[in-house]
Structure 1
C-alpha cells in the first residue's frame, strides 16, 4: 500500500512558480512520513494566488529554491507511485520546475484522486478537494500544501476500504484506471479503461463503473 501524495502551491499563473510543497508518504504498515517546505520561486507573486493560499513574497525570502530542495524531494518521489488531486496541475508544476532548472526527471507513476473519486463515489455535485473532504468529515486547511496532501491520503485509504481492497494497486485494478507517467518533454496521463466493471463497496450500493 506504499504510495506518496503530493501537492504544490504556485506564486502566479506560471507552472514553474512553485512556492510551497507538501508530501505525505504511507507504507504497507500504515506508517506515515511528511515533508513540507516553502519554496522561493524567484519571481513575483500574483494577488489572486496570494488570496487563494495566503503565501506572500516576504514569506519565502529565506526559503530554498526548488533546485536547492530537489535532492530531498527526489528522494521521496523516485520509484514511487504518486497521487495528487487534479494531478494534471501538480505534475505540470513538477515538470516545469524540473525543466526550468534542467534537473533530471525522477522515475515514477502517478494517479489522480479526482479520477479515482469519480469512480468510487459517482454522482457528486463536484469533485473539489474540499467537497470530498466535507463528504467524509475530514477537516483541513484548504490550499495549505501539506494539509491538501494529507486529505488525498485519507481519500485513498477510504476508497480502499469502500471497495474492499488492501492497496492502491489493487484499487486501480478494480476500478480500471491506468497510471500516468512523466518524461523529459513528454508525459502520459492516467486514464479510465474502456471495460466497465462493477465495484462492490462495503456497506453501500454497488457502483457500476
Structure 2
C-alpha cells in the first residue's frame, strides 16, 4: 500500500509562497523514493519564516518556480493517497498556490499524520512532529521539508505496525477515520469519527 508524504516550507505568511517541497514515497515497510527542491516563490521572505526553516531569498534565487516543478509534483500526487503532518497547512499551501498560478488540481486522497497519531498514541504529551520523532527514536532536522516529509512517512509506518494493518482501508477502519480528498478547485477534509464513550454502571 504505497502512499506519498509531503511537506512545504513557505517564504512568508501567505500560503501561496512555498519555498521548499519535500516528497517521500513509501509503503508500510520502507521508503521507496524521495524528491526535494527549493522553490523560488517570486515574492519576499519574512524574517520569522527564515528563522524557522533557514531558507533565504538568496538561496532560492536560481531555484525553479512552482509552475516549473508542478509537472513533477503532479506525477507524485495525482491518484495517490498523500499524507502530511498537520495536513490542513500543507494542503492549503498546495491549493492556494495552484489557484495563484492557475494550475490544474490533482485528484488525490489525503490524510493527516498528526490526527492519526492522536488516535494511535493518545497518551503522548502532544502530537507535534518532533515529539513523535523523539517517541519513536527518529533523528531528523526539523523544518527541512524533505526530513519532515520522511518523518511523517515513518510515523505512518509505525501506526500501521501498531494497528497491525496491511491495507489502508483496514487501518482507517481501526482508526475510525476517513480520507480527505482534493479535486479540481475543491476539497473534502479527512474526518475522525467520534468513538463511543464507555458507560459506567454503579
Q: Same fold (TM over 0.5)?
A: yes
Maintained 8 Å contact 1:120/1:175: yes
**Higher relative contact order (CA closer than 8 Å, sequence separation 6+):** 2
Maintained 8 Å contact 2:80/2:109: yes
Q: Which 10-residue stretch deviates more, 81-90 or 22-31?
A: 22-31
Q: Distance in 2 between matches of 1:124 and 1:41?
A: 36
Q: Which runs of 4+ in 1 moved over 6 A?
A: none
Alignment of 1:93-112 (within 5 A): 93-112=93-112
Provide the residue aligned with 2:41 in structure 1.
Answer: 41
Runs of at least 5 residues in structure 1 that lack an aligned partner in the other structure: 198-209
Q: Deviations over 1:97-135 (max 9, x none)?
A: 100110111010000001100000002221110000001
Could you state the TM-score of these two structures normalised by the residue count of structure 2? 0.93
Displacement of 1:31: 5.3
3-state secondary structure, aligned to 2:71: helix
Alignment of 1:75-114 (within 5 A): 75-114=75-114
Runs of at least 5 residues in structure 2 that lack an aligned partner in the other structure: 198-202
Displacement of 1:60: 0.2
Provide the residue aligned with 1:146 in structure 2.
Answer: 146
Could you state the TM-score of these two structures normalised by the residue count of structure 1? 0.90
RMSD over aligned Cα atoms: 1.5
